[in-house]
Amino acid sequence: MPYDTKTNIAGEIPNSVQEKIGLIFQGLNRDLLEQRDGLALTLRTRTRQASSSSHENGNARDVKFRRLCFPGRGVEDAWRFTVVLRMLELVHEALSTGKTLSKRDIYYRDPALFGSQTHVDRYIDDIAFTFDVPRSALNVTAVAKGLILGAVTFCRRDGSNANAAVDREGVLVPPLSELLSVSMKAVKWVLVIEKEASFRSLASSNFWDRLSTEGVLLTGKGYPDIATRALLRFLSEPSPQNGFASPPVYGLVDFDPDGLAILATYKHGSFALAHENSSLQVPQLKWLGLRSEHILMESDDPHASQGLMMLTPRDRGKARKMLERSVPGSISGALEADSEEWRGALQVMLMLNVKAELQLLDAQSGGVSELLESYLAMQSRYTASLTRNLHVDSP
Amino acid sequence: MPTLFGPYTSFSKQYLQTHAIPDAHPTDIFALAVTPSQVLSASGSSNIRIYSTKGQIIHADTPEDEHPYPLVQTLEKVHPLGCHHICTSLDGRTAASAGFGGELNIWTCSEEGSWTLKGTITPEPKKAGEHWALALSENGQYLACTTHDGRINVYDTSTISSEGKAEKITQYETKGSLGMSVDLSSNGSMTASGHQNGSIYIFNNTTSRMAHSLSGLIKPVRSVRFSPACRYLAAAGDARIIALYDTQSGEQIANLTGHASWIMSVDWNWSGEYLLSGGYDGKAKIWSVERRECVATQTESEKCLWTVKWLPKAASARNETFVTAGAGKGLAFYREASGT
């Protein structure tokens, strides 16, 4: 083993996972400086039942060690090493900033490298096993449909109340049939987020500390189910049951064809079936991001550029079909303006041939919270100026 | 001339915006093409618009005409899903446009300067939308067209049929990465393509073989242009540099650095002395090819410039003019200030 996890240079025993990861990187650094041939990491992995290579681990019953080398014997070896190294880096970042990442988060920080979610799931468990800690000690959580968090209290038909602010992890979206009414006096805005991972990272940010009393976060985890859409409509459409509240609703989705399709699902259902979905629509939903202007082309920051990916042939095909479905004139008047913005975004996406995940914002300073806060500030300035103009004569 | 010991003097040029056409299109303008007397603009809307550049006042110090670039024709609803590329032949008689639905339209221009549809090349249903970037040969007979899977198809536009087909005379194969840009040399001997994965290729049109595979950019190549005398190829894109290659040897002879963001479009002036480039950050730059440096930068806004073009030099023109367009939805015309 090119590094020693037991002691660091000063001979102290590292006690936190963060320090252990630090040591691993120190070790690798040393190897590089001393120009040794190749780098290596050792992972302790659990034996899997019905393993395809059972003859190999026949003598190691419960635990086997797996050495990952770089450059290794082939592309596979180098990839494996890179994956584990990148994950260690992300875990270290999560631990040092005190943020919690979901497995899905990790995957989306570098989907091009990880290739699929299952790789991330496997290696994160192996990393936790290697350090002999539960996964939660790595500040990594699993992913559980529809979550809501914020200053709303649901009043159920059975007479009980549920406050959606009590648990920072959010509460599962309650079925509308169970609800009698909702109290949302304090709510100034509702933010719909495409992915649970971004929902969680926002919920654990300082931003939420400041604004949890006036906002609501909602995620449908990808394409939303009916319950999530119905709840969003219930919250945002004035009715006696919600105290005639009509807070502005903002949407935060990936910059890719699916992100825009998800946004359109919340807004209109599907364009094709818009007339049938009127009871689930939230047409006032505003597209906050991710927009092409949020993609920092100037940046030399590798994290920011890593978040950018090229469109796949599937993405291009999907974008083109979405364009076809929204040809001007094929949609009724009210949706026309919306579909224009939407078509523009799809065309720009095709021209740039680039997509970006919401997590791209996490890698930029300020991230999602800064974007949202500047937007909310802009809105309130606008409202204030309107109010001022109404009182132009007062000294 | 600066000497080795003298103070360094930077040769800069001054360009002034002489005219703007705001809201030329309701959406982003993705492409411009020029002829000796017109500018053609294509956008996310279904229309192509044509502006006359004839009869404009050439000297900056004389009073401006109120409408130096009047709209002379609108080709309405010709690309239902929007149009992403448009190009013209050097003689100004033929144009080609590509729509987001995958259709290619070929246009011919009358003596009076009015455009009519010559024909449409429709994609086979299964491969809908596979055409991307376009270039026409000098007399408009050949149309080079890149595809999503890295091929360059060359069509003979004189064979276009009413069923939406044209004879494909050559097909160049590359490694399967989206062809983002393409150009034909003015002498007709070479085709160049720039790809998503950073590859740049020069093909010999006589032998129909690849002449050079050019290295150096790694990132998506959004624009490739042959110099007017066909001696150089300029290539640029997300690497934020303009690379100049010798088209005979294939060697990279210069890197022009200075753009802080992605370069969306480059163009040579008529003499090959200057390059014009437009960036994602809305900056247009003029480069002296001899000095290998940027001699002027124009910033109108922070909105992406999808396309920048020099206007062809009119016989009486003393000062050159270029036009820019992009996410700002308008056209902006610039002319070199007198006395620089």
Name which of B76, B281, B304 to mutate to probe chain A: the one with the most chain A Cβ atoms within 10 A of its Cβ: B304
- CB spacing of B196 vs A328 below 8 angstroms: no
**Of A292, A320, A353, which is closest to B100 when you measure between CB atoms?**
A320
Q: Is A382 a catalytic residue?
A: no
Residue A3's pLDDT band, with cuts at 50, 70 and 90, is: very low
Most confident of A40-44, A109-113, A210-214, A351-355: A351-355
Residues of chain B with Cβ-Cβ distance to A353 below 8 Å are 178, 180, 196, 220
**Which CA distances in Å does B110 have to A120, A287, B85?**
62, 46, 22
Q: Is the pLDDT of residue B109 over 90?
A: yes
- The total of other beta-carbon atoms located within 10 Å of residue A121's CB is 16
State whether residue B102 sits within 8 Å of chain A by CB.
yes
Is it the case that residue B227 has pLDDT exceeding 90? yes
Average pLDDT of the segment spanning A232-242:
90
- Across the interface, do B27 and A344 touch by the CB < 8 Å criterion? yes
In the predicted structure, residue A272 carries a pLDDT above the cut 70: no
Of A3, A107, A108, A266, catalytic: A108
Q: Which of B28, B80, B260 sits opposite A298 (nearest CB)?
A: B260
> Range(s) for CATH 3.40.1360.10 in chain A?
147-369
Burial of A219 (0-12, 13-18, 19+ CB in 10 A): buried
Look at B281 and A298 and tell me if their CB atoms are within 8 Å: yes
The per-residue pLDDT for B124 is: 74
Distance from CA of A372 to the nearest CA of B (A): 21
Closest by alpha carbon to B278, among B225, B226, B339?
Answer: B225
- Residues in A touching B280 (Cβ below 8 Å): 297
Query: How far from A322 is each of A268, A278, B13, CA to CA, in Å?
Result: 14, 20, 45
* B81 contacts A327? CB cut-off 8 A: yes
Decide if A328 and B46 are in contact by the 8 Å CB cutoff: yes
Q: Which residues of A touch B82 (CB under 8 A)?
A: 323, 343, 347
Q: How far is A377 from chain B (nearest CA, A)?
A: 22
- The answer, yes or no, to whether residue A122 has pLDDT greater than 70, is yes
What band does B217 get if pLDDT is binned at 50, 70 and 90?
A: confident
Q: What distances in angstroms separate CA A100 from CA A1, A90, A135, A326, one per listed residue?
A: 30, 11, 11, 39
Residue bearing tokens 């082939």: A74
Q: What spatial distance separates the first Cα and last Cα of chain A, rounded to whole Å? A: 77
**How confident is the model at residue A158, as a pLDDT?**
85
- The ipTM (two decimal places) reads 0.91
* Cβ separation B280–A297 shorter than 8 A: yes
Nearest CB to B178; choose among A320, A347, A353: A353
Tokens of A205: 């940010």
Q: Which residue of B has its CA nearest to A324?
A: B81
Give the residue, A385 or B230, on which the prediction is more confident: B230
| pLDDT for A167 beyond 90 | no
**What residues in A contact B23, CB-CB < 8 Å?**
none
d(CA B51, CA B18): 15
Lowest mean pLDDT among A81-95, A132-146, B259-273: A132-146
Mean pLDDT to the nearest integer, A48-53: 42
Element (H, E) at B264: strand B263-268
CA distance A298 to chain B (A): 5
What is the mean predicted confidence (pLDDT) over B295-299?
A: 93
pLDDT of residue A88: 92
In the predicted structure, residue A196 carries a pLDDT above the cut 90? no
Q: What is the mean pLDDT of chain B?
A: 89
Poorest-pLDDT segment among A115-124, A130-139, A308-317: A130-139
Q: What is the dihedral of CA B60, B64, B69, B72, to 10 degrees?
A: -150
Contact criterion met (CB < 8 Å) for B30 and A343: no
Interchain CB distance below 8 Å, B100 and A340: no
- Delimit the CATH 1.10.10.10 region(s) of chain A: 5-141
> With a CB-CB cutoff of 8 Å, which residues 139-168 of chain B face chain A?
148-149
Nearest chain B Cα distance for residue A184, angstroms: 39
Lowest mean pLDDT across A46-50, B115-119, B226-230? A46-50
Higher pLDDT, A168 or B283: B283
User: For the ranges A272-286, B148-162, B183-197, B258-272, which has the lowest average pLDDT?
Assistant: A272-286
Domains and their CATH numbers in chain B = 15-52+68-336 (2.130.10.10)
Query: What are the two backbone dihedrals, phi and then psi, of residue A307, each rounded to the nearest 5 degrees?
Result: -75, -15
Contact list, B26 vs chain A (CB under 8 Å): 340
Taking an 8 Å cut-off on Cβ atoms, the answer to whether A297 and B80 are in contact is: no
Between A199 and B264, the higher pLDDT residue? B264
Q: How far is CA A213 from the centre of its chain?
A: 22
Q: What residues have CB less than 8 Å from B163, skipping those under 6 apart?
A: none
A300 class by beta-carbon count within 10 Å (0-12 exposed, 13-18 middle, 19+ buried):
exposed
In this prediction, residue A2 carries a pLDDT of: 41
Contacts of A320 in chain B (CB under 8 A): 81, 100-102, 128-129
Give this prediction's pTM: 0.75
Q: Do A344 and B280 touch (CB under 8 A)?
A: no
Residues 199-238 of B with CB under 8 A from A: 220, 238
CATH topology of domain A5-141: Arc Repressor Mutant, subunit A (1.10.10)
Q: pLDDT band for position B254 (50/70/90)?
A: very high
A chain contacts of residue B179, beta-carbon cutoff 8 Å: none
Interface-testing mutation among B177, B181, B218, B238, with chain A (most A C-beta atoms within 10 A): B238
Closest CA to A27 of A18, A39, A11: A39
| pLDDT cut 90: percent of chain B above it | 76
Exposed (0-12), middle (13-18) or buried (19+): which is A12, by Cβ within 10 Å? exposed
Whether residue B69 has pLDDT greater than 80: yes
What distance in Å separates the CA atoms of residue A28 and residue B302, rounded to the nearest whole number?
A: 43
The answer to whether the Cα torsion of A387, A388, A389, A392 is positive or negative is positive
| Most confident of the following: A281-285, B48-52, B123-127 | B48-52
At A319, list the tokens.
């974008």
pLDDT mean over A32-37:
84
- Give the residue from B200, B205, B248, B206 showing the smallest Cα distance to B225: B200
Q: Which residues of B touch A297 (CB under 8 A)?
A: 238, 261-262, 280-281
> Residue B13, exposed/middle/buried by CB under 10 A (0-12, 13-18, 19+)?
middle
pLDDT at B121 > cutoff 70: yes
Kindly report the backbone phi and psi dihedral angles of residue B96, in degrees, each rounded to the nearest multiple of 5, phi listed first. -135, 140
* Cβ neighbours of B42 in A, within 8 Å: none
The per-residue pLDDT for B119 is 93
Please check whether residue B129 touches A, CB under 8 A: yes
- CB of B128 within 8 Å of a chain A CB? The answer is yes
A112-116, A190-194, B39-43, B272-276: the lowest-pLDDT one = A112-116
Three-class secondary structure of residue B125 per DSSP: helix
Q: When comparing pLDDT for B124 and A259, which is higher? A: A259
Across chain A, mean pLDDT equals: 78
Residue B260 DSSP symbol: S
Q: Chain A interface residues facing chain B, Cβ-Cβ under 8 Å?
A: 292, 297-298, 310, 313, 316-317, 320, 323-324, 327-328, 340, 343-344, 347-348, 350-351, 353
- pLDDT tens string B8-44: 455 788 899 989 999 999 999 999 999 999 999 999 9
User: Residue A89 is which amino acid?
Assistant: E
Predicted confidence band of residue A8 (pLDDT cuts 50, 70, 90): very low
- B302, containing H or E segment: none
Contact list in A for residue B278 (CB cut-off 8 A) is none
Looking at per-residue pLDDT, the higher value among A336 and B225 belongs to B225
pLDDT of B173 over the 50 cut: yes
Give the pLDDT of residue B317.
63
- Mind telling me how many Å the CA of A353 is from chain B's nearest CA? 8
How do residues B177-215 score in pLDDT, each as one tens digit?
A: 999 999 999 999 999 999 999 999 999 999 999 999 998
- Residue A58's pLDDT is 41
The residue behind tokens 């394409």 is A223
Distance (Å) from the C-alpha of residue B339 to the closest C-alpha of chain A?
A: 34
Q: Do A343 and B82 touch (CB under 8 A)?
A: yes
Q: Does B123 touch chain A (CB under 8 A)?
A: no
Only one residue has tokens 């290295």, namely B215
Q: What span, in angstroms and rounded, lies between the C-alpha atoms of A348 and A342?
A: 10
**How does residue A50 score in pLDDT terms, banded at 50, 70 and 90?**
very low
- How many CB atoms are closer than 10 A to CB A64? 16
pLDDT bucket at A115, cuts 50 / 70 / 90: confident
Place of tokens 């005219």: B19
Residue bearing the bigger pLDDT, A5 or B297: B297
Label residue B63 exposed, middle or buried (CB < 10 Å: 0-12, 13-18, 19+): exposed
Question: Is the CB of B82 less than 8 angstroms away from the CB of A310?
Answer: no
pLDDT > 60? residue A52: no
Q: Which two tokens stand for residue A285?
A: 């939903």
Domain covering A147-369 in this structure, CATH number: 3.40.1360.10
Does A351 contact B101 at a Cβ distance shorter than 8 Å? no
| Nearest Cα to Cα of residue B244 among B176, B189, B192 | B192
pLDDT of residue B193: 97
